[in-house]
Amino acid sequence: MNENEIKIKNEIIALQNKINEWDKHYYDLDNPIVSDEIYDIEYNKLKKYEEQYSYLFSDLELKKSPTNKINAHLSRIFSKVEHDYPMLSLNKTYTIEEIKKFVDNIKKITEKFSFFVEPKIDGLSISIKYKNGKLFKAVTRGNGQIGEDVTSNILQIKDIPKKIAYQKNLEVRGEVFLPINQFEELNKTLASENKPLMANPRNAAAGTLRQLNPEIVKQRNLSAFLYYIINPKKHNIFSMEDSFKFLKNLGFLVTKESKKLNSIEEIEAYITNFKELKKTLDYETDGIVIKLNEIEYYEKLGQTSKFPHWAVAFKYEPDITSTILRDIFITIGRTGVVTYNAKLDEVELSGTKVSFATLNNYEFINNLNINIGDAVYIKKSGEIIPCVIGLANKNNTEVFKPIEKCPYCNNQIYFNDTGLEQFCLNENCPEIKIRKLIHFTSKEALDINSLGEKNIILFHKLNYINEITDIFKLKNYQEELINLSGFGEISVKKIISSIEEAKNKSLEKLIFGLSIPLVGIKSAKFIASKVLKFENVLDFDFSVFEEYHDFGNKITANLIEWFSNEKNIKLIKELISLNVNPIYINEQKTDILNNLAFVITGTLSKPRSFFEKLIIENGGQVFSAVSSNIKYLLAGEKAGSKLVKAKKLNVQVISEKEFYELLNS
Ligand code: IVH
């Protein structure tokens, strides 16, 4: 080997090590540190180099490369089960030309064939066995040969039938995933409890499926699409299309978007169409899967150790770009938690100009090994603000150090005991105070929307509002407010009256608004249902919550501490003296609409809030976006895009009249 070859070999080994490290985080720790897109870029780079420079490596060295392993190592917690038939992966394509190659290979065997094309669900593969019509075993992919027995968790997924009307032994395979709306709910809850957020629905699903407590799995509402039957011929199934119908008839969830296609041209059209369609789905996809429809040729086509020759995945170019990281700065949340942010050279990403992105916490920056001056990859997913997802080019060899001083109060910043998050612990930090005030008036809390974030910052600066209780004393500054530029009698009256109204909001909203550590919306509701009236918190024995297993001892300990703190007691007493003393209102009166999901659109005979209230009172749920998880779209006149989307997704559209019929049924 000459000097140059040694250098190349070392670079390739470094790349192998990096991918091995990523695999470890993805498969062993269920906590990926790079996005799929970057993984694919680097993985393909490695594959290319290994091919080009294979003469620099021994066979054994190449065998050990991550490109030659079926990934996924196994954890020690769930018991291991060997698959009767290995669970393979899929070869990836990015262009029509590559798909044509796949088709040419089929043509070597047969002239007459069709395709079955499906969304590629971004979840976790699962194999489920039924005996005498009963689900008895569910196993994850693991390393493809040996998986983990997660039967007790799979039994919690309501979309997976536990009993089917089919007596023969049956093994079906599919993908467990977390619907996007459930993912958003979960992150909302985690955020309100000051817990670290899940990076994406796939991670959340992976974390959930590996929970040791099936109760948690139940609460998270995982779902699953099934797409494959083992030994189909034994069940008189000879095509993928028939497999789908068979699964559907037995009550399994199958993707509505899957269909039989006859030519490459049709596949091309499907690809174009699905690029838009996928944005409307309530589950994440990472491309499509193109399968030969006729199962009789599968055996002849064969497989490699990694993937079959009868199917191929197609992936879209990701909405991802790179730019230069110009600065890293932090913001502080209401609990004092530190968030790192990136100032970037402006770039266009999915049609918008981007110059800021989130970096989450210090651990995140450290894992990605990025620093100011480096080129970074950024990605935008949905409506969430863009996120830095990886290092594109290293320009700064120094390691970025954690920020040590709070930029708002100059106090020391500390790492918590897990070493993952940093906090400003200064009770009097002006930024924490402002964030708490903003939270108190936010929609989920007391919903004093006419006060608004901008006004809170202004009134805080003018010293009119320092503490929560000052909000209810703002009327003492009415004259001063009216004289402020940009304010007038009408706007000030509106602010004051919405503050007065807030006094009568429900108890759970007030409790949530107090920013008690770990107390999110759900816990606040529970606390309210036990405390019943705000003034009762003063001598309520919170230790009784220790009996409720779902509630968690940590929250209980926090509650006991928070409600016995002198300052907080003073705050509560002052709120009560200001007539802020709400009671618990149990909004649900019946369960006629138990857990049915609604979206409301168009012009109805009464305001939307009227219907929202009716739905909630009767046990239903109201969402703002149409997805396949929505049961009904209540549509009035001039319904627009939501109606179009509902029709596309086969969501049942009902009129006001039909809504009342449903209520009376
Ligand atoms: S068929 C031989 N169909 O993608 C494997 N897989 O990257 C046959 N996946 O291991 C799989 N959606 O976990 C198939 N509609 C779909 C899929 C799908 C997602 C997963 C599956 C597979 C992985 C390969």
Which positions ≥6 away from 490 have C-beta within 8 Å?
Answer: none
Task: Specify the pTM.
Answer: 0.53
Are the C-beta atoms of 208 and 220 separated by less than 8 Å? yes
Distance CA 153, CA 394 (A): 43
120 lines ligand 1 (CB under 6 A): yes
Instruction: Check whether 409 is labelled as a binding-site residue.
Output: yes
Q: How far is the CA of 107 from the centre of ligand 1 (A)?
A: 23
Residue nearest to atom 17 of ligand 1 (CA): 120
Place of tokens 């919170």: 542
- State residue 74's pLDDT score: 45
642 is catalytic: no
For the Cβ of 185 lying below 6 angstroms from any atom of ligand 1, the answer is no
Structure tokens at 283: 């589950």
What integer pLDDT is reported at residue 29 of this predicted model?
61
Residue 370: closest CA among 408, 399, 349: 399
Amino acid at 217: V
Please tell me the residue having the least CA distance from ligand 1 atom 10. 89
Q: Is 445 exposed, middle or buried (0-12, 13-18, 19+ CB in 10 A)?
A: buried
Q: Which residue's alpha carbon is nearest to atom 21 within ligand 1?
A: 125
Residue 474: how many CB atoms within 10 A of its CB? Answer: 19
End-to-end CA distance of the chain: 81
What one-character DSSP code corresponds to residue 639? -
Residue spans of alpha helices (H) in 334-410: 362-368
Residue 89, marked binder:
yes
- Ligand 1 center from residue 243 Cα (angstroms): 15
Question: Which residue among 47, 120, 475, 525 is the active-site one?
Answer: 120
186 labeled part of a ligand binding site? no
With a cut of 50, list the residues of the chain below it in pLDDT: 72-76, 382-383
Burial of 640 per CB tally in 10 Å (0-12, 13-18, 19+): exposed
Q: Which domains does the chain have, with CATH numbers?
A: 3-68 (1.10.287.610), 91-315 (3.30.470.30), 320-424 (2.40.50.140), 430-578 (1.10.150.20), 597-663 (3.40.50.10190)
- Give the position of tokens 């150090």: 401
Residue 315 assigned to a binding site: yes
Judge if the beta carbon of residue 175 lies within 6 A of ligand 1: yes
Question: Is 400 a pocket residue for ligand 1 (Cβ < 6 Å)?
Answer: no
Tell me whether strands 338-349 and 223-229 are parallel, antiparallel or unpaired: unpaired
Alpha-carbon distances of 630 from 202, 289, 604, rounded to whole Å: 21, 25, 19
Report how far residue 380's alpha carbon sits from residue 417's, in angstroms, rounded to the nearest whole number.
31
Residue 439: the pLDDT is 96
Element (H, E) at 259: strand 259-261
Residue nearest to ligand 1 atom 23, measured at CA: 89
Q: Which residues of 272-286 are buried (b: 16+ CB within 10 A; e: fewer)?
A: eebeeebeebbbbbb
Q: Is 370 annotated as a binding residue?
A: no
Q: Is 175 annotated as a binding residue?
A: yes
CA-nearest residue for atom 12, ligand 1, is: 120
Cα–Cα distance, 342 to 345 (Å, whole number): 10
**Chain centre to alpha carbon of residue 318:** 18
Which candidate, 498, 563, 567, 569, places its Cα nearest to that of 527?
563
Q: In terms of Cα–Cα distance, which of 270, 291, 271 is closest to 173?
A: 291
Q: Which atom of ligand 1 is nearest to the CA of 90?
A: 24
- In angstroms, what is the span from residue 342 Cα to ligand 1's centroid? 35
Distance CA 104, CA 125 (A): 28
Compute the distance from residue 174 Cα to the ligand 1 centre, in Å: 7
Q: Residue 224 Cα, ligand 1 centroid: separation in angstroms?
A: 13
Task: Measure 372 CA to ligand 1 centroid, in angstroms.
Answer: 39
